[in-house]
Amino acid sequence: MSPAMFYARLPGWCQDAVCSGYGGLLRLRRYSRSYQALEREVFSREFWDEQLLHHLVRARLQAIVGHAVSTAPYYRRLFDQLNLDPTDIRDPADMRALPILTKATVQENLREFHSETASRMRCTVVHTSGTTGAGLVFPMTMLAEREQWAVWWRYRARFGVDRSTWYAHFYGKLVVPRAQSRPPFWRVNLAGRQILFSAYHMCPRNLGFYVDELNRCRPPWIQGYPSLLVLLASFMHETGVRLAYRPDIVTTGAETLLPHQKHIIETAFGASCRQHYGLTEGVANISECPEGCLHVDEDYALVEFLPIGADRYRIIGTSFSNYAFPLLRYDTGDIAELSPRSVSCNCGRSGRVARSIDGRIEDYIVLPDGTKIGRLDHLFKDMINIKEAQILQDDPASVVFRIVRNSGYTERDEQRLLRDIRQRLGAQIKIRLSYVDAVERTDTQKLRFVISNLPEARLHPCKQR
């Protein structure tokens, strides 16, 4: 029996205990005594001027490139092929001598990206699916993970929240079994100060219970995927149901926050809705400030913007901190629109400012009972034998998963994928796997992870192609 199946059979109070226990382990791992000093250092860099930032970026870039070439076989071979020495990379502009690194290349050469010194580092294993739906599992040093969280808490601190603040969390993990038909559709993580709301029970007949629980607990901070928060906000608009209190802040991540979503969320919750962009791979981070500008966190990673026309740029990133698995010039698959370089923000923070970020924009999957499911990337986080995936829906009774396989893909992968899909979508919808050589992309070559031809599922009808 898998851990997920075992968890699903536990009574609700036991599932709360599991969530709190796991939250406690994460808290110990991420926020050890050494974290406090690291957080102070990260927070202190927030208002550094351009010159200080430039010196820091050069130093961190030279250090990670030198380490990558000396300890990771992939980069050792690459630099030999290009007749380059690590000392040739002294400045961000020098990175243009290296090719863009795709997730497919990383998957195909996974072991060669591992630093040969990783065994001497304290590491954890992280999982990501990203924009393409392709799974990637790799080591991350504990120091890199802690710096990532320090940067994220720096952003959150701008809006008055910290690690002691209770919050409602709307995200994609299966915290409540899909078969459960009565509330509570949430679980509590005491250690993480979280009320974990299920993404898989948000049908019209249940959403009133979600509002009731928010009113009962009154969390001052609400955090989640925009596609989930807008479901609840739209329900409140349509039914006249209101919160009996006003949250201090709503924050979103993991998906693009579209202008109409921001408006609906802010109107329904009566609070500002802010966003940040980050990746598990740690190769880029962009955070909103109180003035509403999206600032590149220049001190955390090297972010390159490669023009693709019409003021749009591919986001290419280099991690400064993960010495166990260095990624240089990694293609995030995401796109940004930039503000003119001369534009500065009244908040006083240095660095470049993005006008908008086109990360993941997905339609919903609609189940036969009317439940709308957003953000199904968790299905693929461990599926390292899948190159790309795409979900298509033409009617509420069925859904098709297009799969681009790696050479290592087996029947066991297929059975595991089908089992995980069933756990999230339930037994009432037909599921078909379609194995293809490539999946459909937009005009800007972004992979649309979910494509629906149901009008009620469209998230952004004007961006279908």
Domain co-membership, 40 together with 24: no
Domain co-membership, 76 together with 142: yes
Domain co-membership, 164 together with 20: yes
**Domain carrying residue 204:** 3-28+160-271
Domain CATH code at residue 40: 3.40.50.12780
Q: What digits encode the pLDDT tens for the residues 302-322?
A: 999 999 877 788 999 999 999
Asked whether the beta carbons of 166 and 217 are under 8 A apart, the reply is: yes
Read off the pLDDT of each residue in 27-50 and give the average, rounded to a whole number. Answer: 94
- pLDDT of residue 465 exceeding 60: no
Domain co-membership, 74 together with 120: yes
| pLDDT confidence of residue 127 | 84
Q: What digits encode the pLDDT tens for the residues 336-366?
A: 988 776 567 899 998 899 988 876 666 788 8
Domain CATH code at residue 210: 3.40.50
Among 271, 295, 321, give the residue marking a domain's end.
Answer: 271
Domain co-membership, 292 together with 380: no
Domain co-membership, 452 together with 308: no
Among candidate residues 426, 396, 427, 389, the one with its CA nearest the CA of residue 131 = 389
Domain co-membership, 420 together with 431: yes
Q: What percent of the chain is modeled with pLDDT above 90?
A: 62
Domain co-membership, 143 together with 287: yes
Residue 462 binned pLDDT confidence (cut-offs 50, 70, 90): very low
Number of domains in the chain: 3
- Rounded to an integer, what distance in angstroms lies between the CA atom of residue 395 and that of residue 163? 43
Domain CATH code at residue 459: 3.30.300.30
Domain co-membership, 145 together with 217: no
Domain co-membership, 79 together with 143: yes
Domain co-membership, 375 together with 393: yes
Among 245, 271, 297, give the residue marking a domain's end.
Answer: 271
Domain co-membership, 192 together with 239: yes
Read off the pLDDT of each residue in 255-269 and give the average, rounded to a whole number. Answer: 87
pTM > 0.95: yes or no: no
| pLDDT confidence of residue 134 | 63
| pLDDT confidence of residue 276 | 93
Among 358, 391, 413, give the residue marking a domain's end.
Answer: 358
Average pLDDT over the chain, rounded to an integer = 89
HSE toward the beta carbon, residue 331, CA cutoff 13 A: 17
| pLDDT confidence of residue 359 | 67
Q: What digits encode the pLDDT tens for the residues 435-450?
A: 998 777 555 445 677 8
Asked whether the beta carbons of 449 and 133 are under 8 A apart, the reply is: yes
Give the CA dihedral 214, 216, 218, 224, nearest 10 degrees. -20
Q: What digits encode the pLDDT tens for the residues 54-79?
A: 999 999 999 999 999 999 999 999 99
